[in-house]
């Protein structure tokens, strides 16, 4: 397996939807006629880009490939949260489906995303492979998709997951003996697939990075931005997103929610959890 992080990966051009390739900032504005105020805004944006790019340690991930896997019933925020930050790196960010590339993939919330490519057709070693959670049991039952995850995971610079996506990585043999986390309701299942369960929001073991439930995917993505583009870019991206969580109801972990609410939530999620339990070894 490729456990060594590096700053450059030879990739070939890929078709499909990408984001973050125009680093001038000029696409943020639409010029109507000869509007001096808008032109001034564009000039300031372009100048800010050059200032940002010249700061010590700053770099872009241009030419690198990031693959975000779309499987049936994926958790929407597991995908779009990380995408927001990763698209700012300048890398080619692609949604890849476990099914056919000409079919939209329905998330667990009913919102569909259109993939750029099929996972099975990928022959490029990605800089980042990201597997979201959601109805992960469907993914585990797809033998071809699981084999593709293993193949691409062996080639990727960073192998990553959000929420129960780590169960899929573990089931594919990509977390054997590795420290990892997942959504609190399924984290205990990691050991059944040979991983080492850790109760942390983002866990890193070599080139494997796993995030806890749903919103932790943004923390994972910010970490990846710092690795791909430097901490200065990560700080800039966090400010741009105004990412400063202060939940009005602070029950985001079992420890904070208390046993009664946690038990109720665990019962609510029980069918999804049972789908992910490893067969007896």
Cα–Cα distance list, 97 to 3, 74, 257 (Å): 25, 11, 35
Tokens 């583009």 appear where? 229
Alpha-carbon gap, residue 154 to 140, rounded angstroms: 18
Tell me if residue 117 falls in helix, strand or coil.
strand
Supply 250's token pair.
């602070």
Catalytically annotated residue among 156, 163, 237, 276: 163
Q: What's the gap between Cα 34 and its chain centre?
A: 41
For the question of residue 229 being annotated catalytic, the response is no
Tell me if residue 91 falls in helix, strand or coil.
coil
Segments of 43-140 assigned E as strands: 65-70, 92-97, 105-106, 112-113, 117-118, 128-131
Strand-strand pairing, 208-211 and 202-205: antiparallel
Q: What one-character DSSP code corresponds to residue 39?
A: H
Residue 38, number of CB atoms within 10 A of its CB? 14
Alpha-carbon gap, residue 22 to 3, rounded angstroms: 30
Alpha-carbon gap, residue 122 to 62, rounded angstroms: 19
Determine contact, residues 51/80, Cβ cutoff 8 Å: no
* Catalytic sites, residue numbers: 163
């Amino acid at each position: 397996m490729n456990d060594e992080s590096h700053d450059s990966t030879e990739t070939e051009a890929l078709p499909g939807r990408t984001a973050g390739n125009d680093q001038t900032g000029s696409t943020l504005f639409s010029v109507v006629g000869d509007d001096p105020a808008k032109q001034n805004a564009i000039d300031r944006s372009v100048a800010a880009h050059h200032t940002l790019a010249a700061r010590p340690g700053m770099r872009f991930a241009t030419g690198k490939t990031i693959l975000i896997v779309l499987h049936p019933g994926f958790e929407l925020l597991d995908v779009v949260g990380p995408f927001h930050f990763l698209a700012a790196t300048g890398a080619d960010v692609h949604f890849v489906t476990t099914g056919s590339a000409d079919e939209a993939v329905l998330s667990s919330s009913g919102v569909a995303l259109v993939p750029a490519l099929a996972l099975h057709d990928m022959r490029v070693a990605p800089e980042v492979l990201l597997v979201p959670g959601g109805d992960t049991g469907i993914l585990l039952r797809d033998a071809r998709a699981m084999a593709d995850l293993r193949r691409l995971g062996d080639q990727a610079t960073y192998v990553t997951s959000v929420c129960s996506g780590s169960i899929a990585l573990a089931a594919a043999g990509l977390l054997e003996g590795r420290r990892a986390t997942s959504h609190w309701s399924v984290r205990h299942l990691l050991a059944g697939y040979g991983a080492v369960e850790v109760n942390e929001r983002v866990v890193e073991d070599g080139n494997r990075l796993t995030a806890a439930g749903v919103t932790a995917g943004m923390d994972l993505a910010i970490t990846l931005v710092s690795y791909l583009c430097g901490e200065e870019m990560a700080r800039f991206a966090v400010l741009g997103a105004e990412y400063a969580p202060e939940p009005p109801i602070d029950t985001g972990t079992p420890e904070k929610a208390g046993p009664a609410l946690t038990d109720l939530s665990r019962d609510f999620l029980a069918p999804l959890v049972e789908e992910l339990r490893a067969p007896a070894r």
